[in-house]
Amino acid sequence: MLIGMTYDAKDEYLAMGFTPLQVAEFDRMETIELIESTLKKLGHEVERIGHIRSLVNALAKGKRWDLVFNIAEGVGGTAREAQIPCLLDAYEIPYTFSEPSVMMITLDKSMAKTIVRNAGLNTAPFFVAKTAADLERCDLPFPLFVKPLAEGTSKGVSEKSRVEDKKALTAKVADIIREFAQPALIETYLPGREFTVGLRGEGKDTEIIGVLEITQEEGHEPWYSYENMLNDKDKLQLAKDDPKAKAAGELARACWQVLGGRDAGRIDTRLDANGNPAFLECNPLAGISTKAELTVLSRQAGVSYEMLIDGIVKSASKRIPQTGKSLKRATT
């Protein structure tokens, strides 16, 4: 097939004046090159497209592809991960990973948690504060955990995220609103082990690739924080034959299905005070660098990088109309 690649390159945005925190979710050039070379090894022709403005220009010039391998995180607002999927849908060009509605719902963690909760699946009680004044209506018991409503890569998660009283809660909420220009998500603190689950496929065909337990080096926050991630302080180990990990995997699969994820992604979970796994968040556009959790757990589960990429492409290819020849074949 002729496969286009959409992405947000970290170095490109840094050159535009963005801060390291703003581009934390974006991909390094070595990741883009790795995906491209892997697709070529799998027999595909690959064209780099780049960010959404480059895609707009290419579409305006009449460019088309059999499939777009999309890893672009987008810039601006809680619909940013849906921008390129929306555009590709408008041009009837198939792409990897989830559709726009799923991208928007899962980036807004409160919306994802509401859907999961309404489906009867376990997630911590929560409250959304748009302003500090909203805290007057928050009646969740302490301790609480506070993070940005719509960020990835653990941005905004720090040693101050676990709060024990109203003063600390007010300060943390104010910090998030000021730094990220978005509401704060407040949750009942989950004290147990943390698992991230790798999934592939969609609907009833969803498979669990593996369940990775995330622990931290001694002296660092006992959760998946931005500092721990940035400085490689997280220990990532596949949890095999562990009843709690298996329960986390089954919860994750159910959440993936109810949220509508497809092709591949991750669900983050953590054990509650009763030892039961609880849904934290869904990442339908999970990182696939060599150090990313989805890649690590796949590798530890015996799924090579080439197999992971091939599986994503094959899953997305089911959505390609079968009425005509591929662009690659048609032009050779």
- pLDDT per position as a tens digit, 83-118: 999 999 999 999 999 999 999 999 999 999 999 999
Question: Could you tell me which residue, 324 or 239, shows the higher pLDDT?
Answer: 239
Q: Residue 227: is its pLDDT beyond 70?
A: no
Q: Which pLDDT value is given to residue 332?
A: 42
Lowest mean pLDDT among 55-59, 78-82, 216-220, 222-226: 222-226
Q: Which pLDDT value is given to residue 216?
A: 74
Mean pLDDT over the full length of the chain: 92
Confidence tier at 323 by pLDDT (50, 70, 90)? low
Q: Residue 219: is its pLDDT beyond 70?
A: no
Question: Could you tell me which residue, 229 or 188, shows the higher pLDDT?
Answer: 188
Question: Could you tell me which residue, 55 or 223, shows the higher pLDDT?
Answer: 55
Distance CA 62, CA 220 (A): 51
Confidence tier at 277 by pLDDT (50, 70, 90)? very high
CA distances from 118 to 110, 137, 164, 184, 204 (A): 12, 22, 28, 21, 19
Question: H or E segment at 243?
Answer: helix 243-259
Q: Residue 325: is its pLDDT beyond 60?
A: no
Confidence tier at 248 by pLDDT (50, 70, 90)? very high
If phi > 0 it is left, if psi is from -120 to 50 it is alpha, else beta; for residue 97 that is left
Q: Residue 283: is its pLDDT beyond 90?
A: yes
Q: How many CB atoms lie within 10 A of CB 111?
A: 17
Q: Residue 33: is its pLDDT beyond 90?
A: yes
Q: Which pLDDT value is given to residue 331?
A: 47
Residue in 81, 135, 67 with CA at minimum distance from that of residue 261: 81
Domains and CATH numbers, the chain: 2-105 (3.40.50), 125-188 (3.30.1490.20), 191-317 (3.30.470.20)
Q: Residue 42: which residues within 8 A CB-CB, separation 6 or more?
A: 306, 309, 310, 313
Q: Residue 226: is its pLDDT beyond 90?
A: no
- Rounded to an integer, the average pLDDT of 167-177 is 96
The verdict on whether omega for the bond into residue 143 sits within 30 degrees of 0, i.e. cis, is yes
Distance CA 245, CA 239 (A): 6
pTM score, whole prediction:
0.91
Q: Which two tokens stand for residue 38?
A: 């892997």
| 3-state SS assignment for residue 147 | strand
If phi > 0 it is left, if psi is from -120 to 50 it is alpha, else beta; for residue 171 that is alpha
